Amino acid sequence: MNNPGLFQARWTCAGWQFVPMALLAFWLWPTGQMLCLIFDEWLIHLLNAPLGSYPIWLRIWAIASLRPFDVGSFADECGA
């Protein structure tokens, strides 16, 4: 039973770990936060534009966003 574990209990400073830190620092900077919000609004409008064009898709999306659908998906995840 000398098998090493899947996850090692040590912290290494890899280059990819600086990406989330840089994003957080950018968001904490007031100008960066404003730019993030502008990008977020642009992306939301881009992704939700089809909902305004297709009323049937809009209704399906609205019904699927109701609480009973959330409870059903939660029950599926719990194995009920």
Tens digits of residue pLDDT in 9-40: 676 667 778 888 999 999 999 999 999 999 99
What is the Cα–Cα distance from 26 to 24, expressed in whole angstroms? 5
User: pTM of the entire structure?
Assistant: 0.52
- Taking all residues of the chain, what is their mean pLDDT, rounded to a whole number? 79
Instruction: Report the distance separating Cα 55 and Cα 62, nearest Å.
Output: 10
**What DSSP letter does each residue of 40-55 carry, written as one string?**
HHHHHHHHHHHHHH-H
For 3-12, 30-39, 58-67, which range has the lowest pLDDT when averaged over its residues? 3-12
pLDDT at 31: 96
For residues 48 and 52, give the distance between their C-alpha atoms in angstroms, rounded to a whole number: 7
- Indicate the domain borders of the chain: 19-78
pLDDT at residue number 33: 95
What per-residue confidence (pLDDT) applies to 63? Answer: 81
**Roughly what angle, to the nearest 10 degrees, separates helices 30-53 and 55-64?**
120
Quote the pLDDT of residue 40. Answer: 95
